[in-house]
Amino acid sequence: MSIQWYPGHMNKAKRDIADAMSSTDVVVEVLDARLPHSSENPMITELRKGKACLKILNKSDLADPKITALWIRHMKQESGTMAVALSAKQPEGKRLIPKLCRQLAPHRGTILKPLRIMIAGIPNAGKSTLINLLVGKRAAKVADEAAVTKMQQLYEIEKGVLINDTPGITWPKFETEQGGYRLAATGAIGKNAMDPIEVARFAAEHLIIHYPELLKARYGVESLPQHAMDLLEEIGRRRGCLQSGGLVDIEKAANLFLLDFRSGKIGRISLEKPEE
């Protein structure tokens, strides 16, 4: 099954971002640290047209730290780009992000020449949580659901530093089928555009190969089945996802598994490496 998700309001969001880009000094692109490549929007790369960029590998507390370090090193090789891993829920970002943006645009940052920062990224990457951290209050709507922010908002976070919060946008066609599944596994895709069983199967296959010990610890099994669907069935049986007659409700088990993955209850997991 191919996953594609590009709601109508994202066309307007793209136009708004393009219009605001001319007055932007630094683009802060919020990525999901668990899938930095798949969550990097090629439309934003195209729209920023070589402007300085700070890439935030957000939700790093949910990602494999060794793989995140590889991604940071990989991204720093790009000209005019800085990269940093953090969690938008941790307070150090409030000081660090404006500091790094000033380094990227040292000619800006005064009252007469304010530093204008655009916060951009895909839905559910944590942009609104980051905005709330930078502004110091619940300025942006936050929800564990794709496409909550639907219009641009401008805030002054300190003297001479303005940030523009843009709606999360995806792109019309995902580069690979695997990329679509990775995005769906983290919750970046609307629920009506995905089959939770297929997405859970994809994620379970990855974890069986790369994180078997985390799966064993989370679900209390001594050995893992070879096939992802067998794992989902075992999880459903152990967690009481049963229908009449004792049959496992696979969709319920799949949703439970995805919830565990997204919340970090299984452990710190990355879905892709730079060499992939």
Read off the pLDDT of residues 138-181 as tens digits, 9 standing for 90 and up. Answer: 544 433 444 444 445 778 888 889 998 887 776 656 667 888 89
CA 124 – CA 132 distance, rounded (Å) = 14
Q: What average pLDDT does the segment 50-62 reach?
A: 94
Question: 49-63, 109-123, 128-142 — which is least confidently predicted?
Answer: 128-142
pLDDT over 80 at 271, yes or no: yes
Return the half-sphere exposure (C-beta side, CA atoms, 13 A cut-off) of residue 159: 3
Query: What does pLDDT average to over the chain?
Result: 86
Closest CA to 40 of 153, 146, 128, 168: 168
Give 12 or 151, the one with higher predicted confidence: 12
pLDDT score, position 6: 52
Give 49 or 258, the one with higher predicted confidence: 258
Compute CA distances 89 → 62, 92, 159, 186, whole Å.
Answer: 12, 9, 23, 17
Q: What is the pLDDT of residues 226-249, one digit of tens each?
A: 999 999 999 999 999 999 888 999
pTM, whole model, 2 decimals? 0.86
Structural domains present in the chain: 9-165 (3.40.50.300), 195-263 (1.10.1580.10)
pLDDT score, position 145: 42
| Chain centroid to CA 244 | 38
